[in-house]
């Protein structure tokens, strides 16, 4: 199994993910609304919002909007596929109240930064869906072999360690089950979500990496974009 999303690691180190707090809360609220509407992954969406210190009133409103208790804008999910520099694959998940606007903004970024929209299925087959649980080694009640045994016994498929972060990978249908098993053993979890993992990574020359990062960052900063995945080796 491939390691953790290299773009996620780059985002964290460069501080480009959700740099604006208002932008972050908007994206989190939309995720909660869609999860409440579709009746799946709501607990994960709420947990993400809580970890970002999103006010409880905002969370409650997003849930009620998704359950039809409040009027207003209709939030929909969409997924677009694209190619970037050096023919890297990109998956762009969107939560929006206007798909036409979202698509137009994505196209504008791609056209400006050497990317192009791809037909459905031409990029997504390069990825597998999986569950991902993130926890810091520091501050845990156990470590070393004891921690490894807890992860193995939780039902996880694999795990990796980068810097001080442990990434636990699961079957997508067992994400919540594994999360609860880890929490039962008093492990502190920072993040849990479904993600798209590249089956293989595309190697890039050093002089092309910054161009790719610039493109991914510009896409990530769009209000309607909720998640970005790529098979670029950054």
Please check whether residue 225 is in contact with residue 116, taking contact to mean a CB–CB distance below 8 angstroms: no
Q: 170-189 in b/e burial notation, b at 16+ Cβ within 10 A? A: beeebbeebbebbeebebeb
- The answer to whether residue 205 scores a pLDDT higher than 80 is yes
Count how many residues are written for the chain.
234
Tokens for 56, please give them: 């409880």
pLDDT of residue 93: 94
Provide mean pLDDT across the span 8-33: 69
Provide mean pLDDT across the span 39-60: 85
Nearest partner of 146 among 107, 176, 116, 186, judged by Cα: 186
Phi then psi dihedrals of residue 107, to 5 deg: -60, -40
Provide mean pLDDT across the span 39-55: 83
Position 2 confidence tier, pLDDT thresholds 50, 70, 90: very low
d(Cα 187, Cα 81) in Å, to the nearest integer? 36
| Of the options 3.90.930, 1.20.120, 1.10.286, 1.10.10, the CATH number for the domain spanning 17-66 | 1.10.10
- The answer to whether residue 139 scores a pLDDT higher than 50 is yes
**Greatest Cα pair distance in the chain:** 52
- The answer to whether residue 3 scores a pLDDT higher than 60 is no
Residue predicted with more confidence, 90 or 74: 90
The CATH architecture one would assign to domain 76-125+200-230 is 2-Layer Sandwich (3.30)
The CATH architecture one would assign to domain 127-197 is 2-Layer Sandwich (3.30)
Complete DSSP assignment for 185-226: TTPPPSEEEEEEEESSPBP--HHHHHHHHHHHHHHHTSTTEE
- The answer to whether residue 1 scores a pLDDT higher than 80 is no
Provide mean pLDDT across the span 148-163: 91
Q: Is the dihedral of CA 182, 186, 190, 191 positive or negative?
A: positive
Outline which parts of the chain fall under CATH 3.30.70.980: 76-125+200-230, 127-197
Tokens for 206, please give them: 């050093």
Please check whether residue 127 is in contact with residue 196, taking contact to mean a CB–CB distance below 8 angstroms: yes
Q: What is the pLDDT of residues 50-80, one digit of tens each?
A: 888 889 999 998 898 888 887 767 888 899 9
pLDDT of residue 6: 65
CB contact set of 5 (below 8 Å; sequence gap of 6+) = 132, 195, 197, 198, 229
Q: What is the pLDDT of residues 217-227, one digit of tens each?
A: 999 889 899 88
Provide mean pLDDT across the span 193-216: 90
pTM of the model: 0.78
């Amino acid at each position: 199994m491939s390691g953790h999303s290299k773009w996620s690691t780059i985002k964290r180190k460069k501080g480009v993910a959700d740099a604006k707090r208002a932008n972050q809360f908007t994206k989190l609220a939309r995720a909660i609304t869609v999860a409440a509407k579709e009746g799946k992954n709501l607990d994960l969406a709420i947990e993400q919002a809580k970890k970002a210190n999103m006010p409880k009133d905002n969370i409650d409103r997003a849930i009620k909007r998704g359950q039809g208790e409040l009027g207003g804008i209709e939030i929909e999910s969409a997924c677009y596929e694209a190619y970037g520099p050096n023919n890297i694959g990109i998956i762009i998940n969107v939560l929006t109240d206007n798909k036409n606007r979202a698509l137009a903004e994505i196209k504008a970024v791609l056209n400006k930064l050497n990317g192009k929209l791809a037909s459905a299925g031409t990029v997504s087959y390069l990825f597998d869906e999986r569950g991902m649980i993130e926890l810091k080694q520091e501050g845990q009640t156990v470590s070393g072999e004891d921690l490894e045994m807890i992860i193995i016994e939780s039902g996880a498929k694999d795990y990796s360690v980068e810097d001080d972060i442990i990434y636990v990978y699961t079957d997508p249908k067992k994400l919540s089950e594994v999360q609860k098993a880890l929490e039962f053993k008093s492990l502190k979890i920072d993040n849990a979500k479904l993600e798209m993992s590249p089956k293989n990574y595309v190697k890039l020359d050093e002089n092309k990496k910054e161009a790719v990062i610039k493109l991914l960052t510009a896409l990530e900063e769009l209000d309607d974009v909720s998640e970005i995945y790529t098979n670029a080796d950054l």
